[in-house]
Amino acid sequence: MKDRQTPQWADTLARCGLKVTGVDPAPTAPPLTAALYAVNGFEVRPTATIPLSLPQAASTLDETWHHHASRAPLYDEHGGFLILPPGSGGTTIGWVHVLDPIGKNLPSRIAEVTGSPEFMATSPNGRHLCAASVEEYEYWVVTHEF
């Protein structure tokens, strides 16, 4: 039986295979408005693009996102990072510290649960951001350093 006290955002993260380890991230987490602008601003240039017409577009997005997340570096010494809960209402929750015990295919796992692979994640120290977004004809991976 499902715990009726589990907030929807926490259930969403769990269904994506992420383990919530904290909802009070370090004060060094970037402001949400700065992170949103870094991904959705008018002058944003993606770090990588994957055409939606590509036969294996989703798996290519998975590989590309994980490659850039590890290079950022996004993860702390325990493999943790901050994420805005994907789906509606994530910005009202704010950054949540999570671990990804699966360690692969995160954009696809998020898409399975929410219907879209879009999400934003940042390093716990708030310096490095790595996001996946869907544009008109492509997936974008966006990285940013604060």
Number of domains in the chain: 1
Q: What is the pTM of this model?
A: 0.91
Which structural domain range is residue 82 located in? Answer: 8-145
SS3 of the chain: helix, strand, coil, percent, to 5: 30, 25, 45
Distance separating alpha carbons of residues 60 and 54, to the nearest angstrom:
9
Give the residue with greater pLDDT, 7 vs 13: 13
Confidence of residue 5 (pLDDT cuts 50, 70, 90): low
Q: Which residues contact 79 (CB under 8 A, 6 or more apart)?
A: 99, 100, 103
pLDDT digits (tens, 9 = 90+) for 31-49: 999 999 999 998 999 999 9
pLDDT at 1 over 60: no
Q: Is residue 2 part of a domain?
A: no
pLDDT at 92 over 80: yes
Confidence of residue 25 (pLDDT cuts 50, 70, 90): low
Average confidence score pLDDT of the chain:
92
Q: Is residue 87 part of a domain?
A: yes
Range from 23-37, 58-72, 110-124 carrying the lowest mean pLDDT? 23-37
pLDDT at 3 (0 to 100): 45
Alpha helices for 2-103 (secondary structure H): 8-15, 32-40, 57-71, 90-93
Distance separating alpha carbons of residues 59 and 109, to the nearest angstrom:
11
pLDDT at 87 (0 to 100): 87
Q: Is residue 26 part of a domain?
A: yes
3-state secondary structure of 16: coil
Characterise 93 by phi-psi region: left (phi > 0), alpha (psi -120 to 50), beta (else): alpha
Q: Is residue 1 part of a domain?
A: no
pLDDT at 61 over 90: yes
Write the DSSP symbol of residue 89. T
Q: Is residue 3 part of a domain?
A: no
